[in-house]
Every structure is written in structure tokens, then in C-alpha cells.
Structure 1
Amino acid sequence: MAKKKSSTGKILTYLGVFLVLIFVVGFGLRAAGIIGGETEGVMVETTKAKLKTITQLVSASGRIQPEVEVIIRPDVSGEIIELAVKEGDFINKGDLLVRIKPDIYQARIDELTAALLTQKARLEQTRASLIQAESAFKKNEELYKKGVISEMDYVQSKSNYDAQKASLKASEYQIQSAEAQIRRAEEELEQTVIRAPQDGTVTGLTVEAGERVLGNSQMAGTEMMRVSLLDRMEVLVEVNENDIVNIDLNDTTRIEVDAYPERRFDGIVTEIANSARVTGAGSNEQITNYQVKVRIVTPHNLGMSGSKLVKDEIAENPAASFSPNFKPGMSATVDIETETAINVVSVPIQAVTVRDFAKDSKSSAGKSGDDKTNDDIQSSSTSDDELIVKQEDIRKVVFVVEGGVANRREVETGISDNTHIQILSGVQAGDEIVIGSYRTLSKNLKNEDKVSVESSNTDAS
């Protein structure tokens, strides 16, 4: 009885091991796609092609700066004895900004005035000498005609008369030169008082009362302050050479400022540089960018415009009169709308991939050559294979699911935004297209492969 139970246990053990082996081998074959693959197909993700308005964007980062900014430098050197403004003050054109100590320039005027008076006195002396020389010349001229004096005496009196006339002219020119020097000195004296050249806000004040500054007669003078129109701000960005060709003047933009993360502001392209800014020249990391200026058209910095009416309106109704306060140097990101296509067939960008159609031609050629002899194949394989390898026929394609089969369609694309791309031909709105996975779509999926839809996203945006 014990032997019978032992043999029965062995049979059950062998049977269990056999079933486990069958299960493991079947699972491995199914995972490898040897069995069960024909009915299930390749797992893919799909969505529907749809009509959509696509706006092509060029994105760039930069900093905010005033559209109009005037650097105030002194025309004369000296000590600042009065600084009438502080940073952040709004000023009107003609307001006093800085007063430089005028003593040395006033003394210069006094010196030149005294020199002018001296020149005028000399002019009178020269005029008196001229009258005397003229009288002597006329008298000697009459005597010479009568033969009383020699020709040498006559010529000498005439030369003296001419010399006195030239001296008078020289004295007059010296007086004009002295008067010009006085006018210049008076202008320098006026330049010791510096006034605002325009309305604006004082930004970047770099001097204090009591400091000495240098004028810019021979070199760039000391930068004292800047006067900016803060209600007219712009964003200065750098755009790569590959994108600059798509940007035109007056293109509309969307501006995001780091200081206002939940808001977007409108802008417009006002300037596009013609000269490039190259970094890393001559190296593998060379970058060529072009500066683009984008004016912020959304009303901003209204409280800094100097208008009492605007300030009162903001104080009465701050919610309705929201005005962002941009400051020079703030970081901003600009999306420039370069082109818009309205209500066009579009698909997600990842749905468009590429395939080498030359490989299909090579495969077809190989199938049609099955009837050739081995000698024919060997004689032509070298040249034909080299030709096929060298020639590529890369085309853009989209895989469309129809009846559980992925059909490859060649497409022509247009503009794109951050998520979708325009399809000009090859796909119609409503077609179910493959959008993933990336590995399957970019390498593994072939024309007329059976597919199994893992998840269909018909509302992908």
C-alpha cells in the first residue's frame, strides 16, 4: 500500500513539473511574439486628426529696458554743489538736476573780459597811429608831386600808412577773438547748471553732492544719472540665426515676466538688428544671435508717468486699473507670433516621423530577384547593394489606423506650434493616427502592421 502511494506521488510531481514547463515556455514564446502576436498586434497609442488654428512661435529670453533712456553727463568738470533730485523722482523737461561749482568759470569770464578791454584800448591806439600815418602820407604825397622830397621818403610814408591800416585790422580781429572766448566761457558757466532734457524718471543715480565730475570735452564724461520713460518699456531679446528669418517688424508677441508669473502681456516687434552678436567664434560652441526689440503695448507703469489724473484713477479703483510696474533689468520671455494658419488639419508633433522609402525599393528588388541564379546574384550584389546603401529616400510619414492595421501615409507639413503641426496633404480630419510610443513609432512600426490600440486620446490638444 505504501509503494502504491509513493508511485502515485511521483506521477503527480512529474505532471506538475511538466505543466510548469509548458506554462513558462508558452509565456516566453508569447512575450517574444512567436505565438499570439498575430491576433493582438503592436501596442500603440492613437488620437484623431482635427481642425485647429496653429500659430508658429519663436521664443526668446531677455530683459526689460526703457524704450527711451537718456544718460546725463556733464559738459564741464568740477565739484557738485547741489544735487536737486534723487533716484526714482519724476521730473519735467527743464527741471534743475545738478549744479556744479561755477567759481573757476566765472573767474575765466572776468579774465577774458579784462583782456577784451585791453584789446579795445590797443585798437584805439592803433586807430590814432593810423590817423597820424595817414596825415603824414598825404602831406608827403603833395611834397613828392612838387619834387620837394625824395621818392624814398614818399615810399617810406606810404609803407607806414599801410602798416597802420593792417595793424588796425589785426586789432579788430583780436577783439572778435576775445569776444568769442568770452561767449564760450559764458556757455561753460551756463553748463554748470544741468537741467532735464526731457520728461521722465531718474534712474541709475551714481553721484552725490560734493563729488567731482569730469566733463566730456576731451573724453566721455562722468555718468551722473539716467532719465528714462518708464511708461514706455521694451524687452531686448536675442534670437538665434535659424529663427530670425521668420520674424518681421510689427509681429505680435506674448510676453511673460518673471515678476508676474500668472499674467501675460502684449507686445509688438519694433526693431530687428542687422548685425550679429557672435559668441564662441571659431569654436564648436559658436552661437550667432540677433537682437530684437519688443515694445510692451499693455499699459504699464502708469503711476510713474507723472500724471496726477492717472495716479488719482489708480488710487480710486486699483482693481480695474491694474498697471504692472516694470523695472529696468527684469527678466522676461517673449513668444513672437510669426505666422498663423486658421482651421487647418493638424496632428500632434510626435505623430510625424520619417521613413526611408529606398529600403522598400531594396526589399522589393530582393523579392523580385528570387528567381535569379546564384551566379547572377553574386555578380550584381556588390554594385547594386553599394548603390542602394548610398541612396536614401527620406520622407515624412504618419501612420493611420484603419481596421486594426497601421497604414503608412506620406504627408506634407506646414507650420507648427509647441504641440501640433499642420498637415497640408496625406491626412484628413477625423483620421485615427498613431502618436506613440516613441520607440514604436520612430523605429519599430512598419507599413500594414497589425496594431492594438492601448489608449485612444481623441481630445488631445
Structure 2
Amino acid sequence: MMRRIFYIIGGIILVLILLGTAGRFMGWFGGGADGIAVQAENADERTITQVVTAFGRAQPEVEVTISPDVAGEIVELNVREGAQVSQGDLLVRLRPDNYQAQLERTQAEVARARANLAEREADSLQVRLEYDRQKRLFERDVIPQSEYEAAESRYKQAVARLQGARYQVQSAMATLRDAREQLEKTNIYAPMSGTISKLDVELGERVVGTSQMQGTEMMRIARLNQMEMEVDINENDVVNVSPGDTARIEIDAHPDRTFRGTVTEIANSARVSGEGTQEQVTNFPVKIRLLDAHNEDAGEVMTGPEGGIATAEDGEPVTPAPVIRPGMSGSVDISTRTVENVISVPIQAVTVRNMDDEEGGGRRSADRMRRVVFVAEGDSAHVRAVDTGIADDTYIEVRSGLSAGERVVTGPYSAVSRELNDGSLITIEESPRQGGRRTASR
């Protein structure tokens, strides 16, 4: 009997413990005075700048690929990678023997065509004189019509042969011009001033001309004193970017420097990777020009106070302009839009709730999903629908629904996103920099 009583009492105690634990967890009793522990911050007026971040690589703003127009063996190579060249400098010479021989053959063809033309002119003159004579005799009824017609036919044939000889001379002259151009193309000159940014051939190597196929890429000439960043921006963000937007550029090779930039070009066509798979990504290439001095001679050109090229008025020279090579990676923060003196709250203070649930309607509707914040009023939090605008890394613009100075719940995330409801009791915990813990009071 005592053992049975002991089991009954133990079971009752266990049930009471379970009920107490569940009740405290559900908020039926115990701990209700303290409420849900949250952090809060005032909604204040701030300046918000929307930023789009992307990653890419540096490249010259102007870079020209040099390929030969004719095929041949490189017999002279006057540059090396990294060398400075001026417009008109001789870069490469190809072996001209075959093209010289072709030129001589075409010159001979021109001479033969001209000799043939002279012969045809003489024949034509003789035939015309005979035709004129026969015509006069026919008009005097001295010769029959058949002889006159035969003379006329011979004259017309001579004129046609003369015209054909003239066309042969024109064709030979065109071939001669082409042969001269082919010979001239064995000398390849710099189309602009710049730096040999890439050199892919060696002395003695054979190259293929672009007239036959794509051709051999021999080298590239770039203006390295004007670099740009080409980055890929997601299709959801590129709609916010416009030409002329300012940017902040960080190059991985220069972690202690920040460069100013501006958006110069936005592609109309996307780059799609992983097309047709779940990993498909659609990006748009965007080019950002570097505005600060770079890739200059450190002994002559120095950077000024604002990152530009230093002048005599800047006083003593400062840090030399950095070297940025094609292909260096980096990140770009593009400032797409700025609004000043607008009411804003921390981004984590805004969540999405179904307003039917908050109003006790018991009916869930996708049309009633709203962005909301929880406003701390005394020891309770009240839901407030808001209309939001742009955001930066920390704060988001609130266009309507809040007034400056109202205190909104900013965390923790679990409370803002799930636990809090309209009228929930709260306890506001001060941030570490403010210290202590304060319970909201009426």
C-alpha cells in the first residue's frame, strides 16, 4: 500500500512539473512580468545611400589586339612585353621574299597587258582607216554592200579587242596594287601609343594572316594609364545602376588603398552561367573607370591630396601612384541612389507579417502580407505596417508608418520574425555600449 501511495504521489508531482514547464514556456504564467527580452532603437532621420556591391577584374579601358594581315615567318621582333611604343613604331617584320616575288610577277603582267593594249590600239587604228575608206567607196556605189559590211564588222571586232585590252591593263594594275599592299603588310606598325600588355610570339615563329582565317594574335597594346574594372552585376541589382554613378573600388593587391570610380558602360546583353540548371545565374557586365592616378612613373607623377595627380600647389610629394595590372581582382561598391534626411530604422527591425493574423481575422491571405515593425510602447510591442524605400548596409528608409523618435524593436531576429505579436509584453535590453538592463515601464 505504501509503495502504491508513493507511485501516485510521484506521478502527481511529475505531472505538475510538466504542466509548470509548459505553462511557463507558453506564457500562461510565470515570467510574464518580464516579457520577451528584446533590443530597441529610435527611428531617426538619416542620409541613406543605396550601394550595389560586385566583384571583377581590372582591365585597360583601351586595348588593341595586333594580328597580321598576311602569313609568314617573323624575321624581326622589335618589342618585348611591358615595353612602351609610340604610334607608327615598327613592331614586327615578316619574311617578305614570297610577297616580293609576287610583286615582280604582277609588274610583269602589267607590262605585258600594256604591250597588248598598244598592239590593239595599232590594229584598231588600221582597221578604222580601212573602214572609213570602204564607207566612202560604198557611198559612191563603187563597192558592193557586202564588202562594206565586212569592213564594218572588222572595225567593231577591233574596237572590242581594244576595250578588252584596256580591261586587262586595269585588272593587272589592281593585282599590282594588291601585291604591293601584301608586301607592305609584312611590316606591322603600332596603331597607337601605349604599352605592350601581352606578347604571344617569338622571333622565327610562323603566323597566320587574318585574310585566311581568324589569324594569329601576336600581341596587345594597351593604355595602362587609364584602367577600368569590369564586374558582373546580378539582374536584380543592375536595374538600379546608371551610367555616371560613383563607385568605391578596392583592389586586392592594394589593400591599404581605395580608388574612386564612375560607371561608364552597362551591357545590354547578359552573361548566363549554368543555363538550364538550378545553378543558372544571370549577370550583366558593367565597366567602372578608375578616376585616381595609377600606373604612372613613380619618380615623376605623384598622387595629390584628393587622390588625383599631385601639382606644385600640393606641397611635398606624397605616396606614388599605385601600379594596377590587367587581371587584378577587386571589389566595387556602386552608390546608385542617395536620399537625405529621411526616417530610417535598422534593417533587422523590418519583417514581413500577415496582417490578418495580427488583427485576429483568422484568415490567411497573400494580399495581406505586409512589411511591419514592432513599436515599443511602455512594456508592450505593437505591430505597425510601414512602406520602405532604399537601404544601405545598416539602415532602411521608412517612407510612411513611422515618426521620428518612435522606438522600434531591432532584435533578436527570432523575436522580430516569429515570437512577437501585436501587444506582446517585452523587456528592453540596452546595447552593450549603453550597459545594464532596463524594463520598460508605462
Q: Normalising by structure 1, what TM-score?
A: 0.82
Tell me the equivalent position of 2:354: 356
Query: Are residues 1:107 and 2:107 paired?
Result: no
Which of 115, 118, 121 is the aligned partner of 1:121? Answer: 115
Deviation of 1:206 after TM superposition, in Å, equals 0.5
Which of 66, 74, 78 is the aligned partner of 2:68? Answer: 74
Query: Are residues 1:434 and 2:428 paired?
Result: no
Distance, in Å, in 2 between the alignment partners of 1:53 and 1:264 is 22
Tell me the equivalent position of 1:341: 339
Deviation of 1:319 after TM superposition, in Å, equals 5.8
Query: Are residues 1:405 and 2:403 paired?
Result: no
Deviation of 1:403 after TM superposition, in Å, equals 2.3
Tell me the equivalent position of 1:260: 254
Alignment of 1:92-103 (within 5 A): 92-103=86-97
Asked which structure has the greater CA Rg, the reply is 1
Deviations 1:136-173 (A, max 9, x none): 22333344344443332222222222222222222122
Deviations 1:354-380 (A, max 9, x none): 2222124435xxxxxxxxxxxxxxxxx
RMSD: 3.0
Moved over 6 A (4+): 24-27, 311-314
Contact 1:109 1:185 survives alignment (8 Å): yes
Deviations 1:278-314 (A, max 9, x none): 223333332222121111112211239xxx9548999
Contact 1:30 1:37 survives alignment (8 Å): no
Deviation of 1:234 after TM superposition, in Å, equals 1.2
Aligned length: 413
Q: What's the secondary structure of 2:163's corresponding residue? A: helix
Deviates more, 1:252-261 or 1:129-138: 129-138
Q: What's the secondary structure of 2:107's corresponding residue? A: helix
In structure 2, stretches of 5+ residues that fail to align are 1-13, 304-308, 435-442
Tell me the equivalent position of 1:320: 318
Alignment of 1:33-432 (within 5 A): 33=27, 35-303=29-297, 310=301, 320-362=318-360, 388-390=363-365, 393-432=368-407
Distance, in Å, in 2 between the alignment partners of 1:436 and 1:311 is 48
Deviation of 1:399 after TM superposition, in Å, equals 1.9
Distance, in Å, in 2 between the alignment partners of 1:42 and 1:442 is 13
In structure 1, stretches of 5+ residues that fail to align are 1-20, 364-384
Give the fraction of aligned pairs with identical amino acids, expressed as a percent: 45
Deviations 1:252-271 (A, max 9, x none): 11111111122221111111
Contact 2:302 2:317 survives alignment (8 Å): no
Amino acid at match of 1:446: N
Q: What's the secondary structure of 2:213's corresponding residue? A: coil
Alignment of 1:18-33 (within 5 A): 32=25, 33=27
Deviation of 1:447 after TM superposition, in Å, equals 2.2
Contact 1:29 1:35 survives alignment (8 Å): no
Contact 1:72 1:223 survives alignment (8 Å): yes
Deviation of 1:108 after TM superposition, in Å, equals 1.0
Contact 1:239 1:290 survives alignment (8 Å): yes
Distance, in Å, in 1 between the alignment partners of 2:167 and 2:22 is 113
Contact 1:358 1:392 survives alignment (8 Å): no
Distance, in Å, in 1 between the alignment partners of 2:401 and 2:124 is 105
1:149/1:355 CA distance change after superposition, 3 Å = closer
Contact 1:59 1:334 survives alignment (8 Å): yes
Deviates more, 1:231-240 or 1:158-167: 158-167
1:146/1:425 CA distance change after superposition, 3 Å = closer
Distance, in Å, in 2 between the alignment partners of 1:435 and 1:324 is 42
> Larger helix proportion, structure 1 or 2?
1
1:310/1:454 CA distance change after superposition, 3 Å = closer
Deviation of 1:35 after TM superposition, in Å, equals 4.7
Contact 2:224 2:295 survives alignment (8 Å): yes
Q: What's the secondary structure of 2:326's corresponding residue? A: coil
